[in-house]
């Protein structure tokens, strides 16, 4: 298919009203956010209507929408594809634009630690014709961390339009599709307005050591428990790190618990996981981190979706903290105190950086 052209609209990222715990738990029983993985959306395969219906979102859930929402708002929405170039060429939502993923993960070194490189991120969105006031929907093979990183990158540069994610990914879409290399898109003028409230720095965290998950902000490690626990001999330990363990005061909630196949985990379960089991305060500050700055964005967006008010990303990640030079006493790594919240989940497609096949 050819002739793909851009669309634009405007709105605000947090325009939705705040979700309440009671409303989410009540909505969970009737929510149509399914927990099973669907068949991969491969070229030539028509998505059945029932698969699309399973990805619809109801209840007080912010930022995640189903395919019917996109069908109703397609002409007013800029659609961004978070997958790699090969998958994009094979099949995509008609008129979608592929995000240059390396650019939107770029970091900048400062005296306070690594932070998102908002100039590089804004330039990447400019290149694919995204304007600051566009309403944007992001999709991938699922709702994995590649997709949520794009959403975070938009928020980090101060995007003024709405930011939404397609629940179920491409396989849930039963509308018009496109193939082949994208048509030329005119660039847009995107001047970043960095939203520093979306992230924290190494020094910000160092100042809070001892208060995290006490009187201070909640701190969530999204890595697998073996990495968090510094399990000797585990393949989960990064050989490039000088130290292993976790930041003092952090609890471990593996990010894959946010995802059930290609869809988000049902909202009621997410509320139970983070509010009840993890004991996080939805009205307080919550900081999430992982080994890098991609996977933790899944938890960042999930918490915002279920009504947490102030969620921030440590963009430097454990890799920066573990390998910091100089006085490491200011940046301690903990192994003695451990709190692991068990999760169940799986990511369909290749949105977690894994393998993908037409058989799912």
Per-residue pLDDT, 145 = 97
Closest-CA residue to 251 (of 268, 283, 276):
276
Sign of the CA dihedral with 168 first, then 172, 177, and 178 last: positive
Per-residue pLDDT, 346 = 74
The gap from C-alpha 18 to its chain's centroid, in whole angstroms, comes to 19
The gap from C-alpha 55 to its chain's centroid, in whole angstroms, comes to 17
Per-residue pLDDT, 59 = 85
Per-residue pLDDT, 34 = 35
User: What pairs with residue 246 in β-bridges?
Assistant: 334
Q: Euclidean distance between the first and final Cα of the chain, in Å?
A: 25
Per-residue pLDDT, 337 = 84
Domains of the chain in sequence order? 21-194 (3.40.250.10), 197-346 (3.40.250.10)
3-state SS of 89-120 is HHCEECCCEECCHHHHCCEEEECCEEEECHHH
Q: Report whether 290 contacts 254 (CB < 8 A).
A: no
Q: How far apart are CA 220 and CA 4, in angstroms?
A: 41
Per-residue pLDDT, 352 = 56
Per-residue pLDDT, 297 = 98
Tens place of pLDDT for every residue, the chain, 360 residues? 334 433 333 333 443 333 333 344 334 333 333 333 333 333 444 445 777 889 999 889 999 999 999 999 999 999 999 999 999 999 999 999 999 999 999 999 999 999 999 999 999 999 999 999 999 999 999 999 999 999 999 999 999 999 999 999 999 999 999 998 766 788 999 999 999 999 999 999 999 988 888 777 899 999 999 999 999 999 999 999 999 999 999 999 999 999 999 999 999 999 999 999 999 999 999 999 999 999 999 999 999 999 999 999 999 999 999 999 988 999 999 998 889 999 987 777 666 543 322 222
| Residue count of the chain | 360
Which whole-number Å values give the CA distances from 290 to 44, 255, 293, in the listed order?
37, 9, 7
Q: How far apart are CA 122 and CA 128, in angstroms?
A: 10
Per-residue pLDDT, 182 = 65
Neighbour tally for 189: CB within 10 Å:
8
């Amino acid at each position: 298919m050819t002739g793909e052209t851009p669309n634009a609209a405007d709105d605000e990222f947090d325009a939705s009203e705040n979700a309440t715990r009671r409303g989410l738990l009540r909505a969970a029983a009737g929510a149509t956010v399914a927990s099973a993985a669907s068949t991969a959306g491969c070229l030539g395969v028509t998505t059945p209507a029932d698969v699309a219906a399973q990805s619809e979102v109801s209840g007080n859930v912010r930022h995640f929408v189903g395919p019917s929402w996109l069908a109703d708002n397609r002409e007013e929405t800029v659609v961004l594809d978070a997958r790699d170039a090969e998958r994009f060429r094979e099949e995509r939502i008609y008129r979608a634009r592929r995000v240059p993923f390396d650019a939107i993960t770029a970091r900048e070194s400062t005296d306070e630690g690594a932070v998102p490189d908002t100039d590089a991120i804004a330039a990447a969105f400019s290149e694919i014709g995204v304007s600051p006031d566009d309403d944007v929907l992001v999709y991938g093979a699922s709702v994995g961390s590649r997709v949520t990183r794009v959403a975070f990158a938009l928020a980090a540069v101060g995007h003024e339009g709405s930011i939404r994610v397609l629940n179920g990914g491409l396989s849930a879409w039963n509308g018009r599709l496109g193939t082949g290399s994208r048509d030329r898109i005119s660039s847009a003028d995107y001047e970043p307005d960095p939203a520093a409230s979306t992230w924290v720095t190494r020094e910000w965290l160092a100042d809070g050591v001892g208060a995290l998950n006490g009187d201070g902000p909640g701190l969530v490690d999204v890595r697998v428990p073996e990495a968090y626990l510094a399990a000797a001999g585990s393949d989960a330990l990064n050989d490039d790190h000088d130290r292993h363990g976790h930041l003092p005061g952090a609890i471990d909630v593996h990010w894959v618990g946010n995802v059930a196949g290609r869809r988000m985990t049902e909202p009621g379960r997410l509320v139970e996981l983070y509010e009840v089991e993890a004991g996080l305060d939805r009205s307080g500050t919550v900081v999430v981190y992982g080994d890098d700055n991609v996977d933790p964005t899944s938890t960042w967006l999930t918490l915002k979706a279920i009504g947490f008010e102030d969620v921030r990303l440590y963009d430097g990640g454990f890799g920066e903290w573990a390998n910091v030079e100089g006085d490491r006493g200011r940046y301690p790594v903990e192994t003695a105190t451990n709190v692991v919240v068990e999760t169940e989940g799986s990511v369909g497609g290749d949105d977690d950086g894994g393998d993908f096949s037409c058989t799912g």
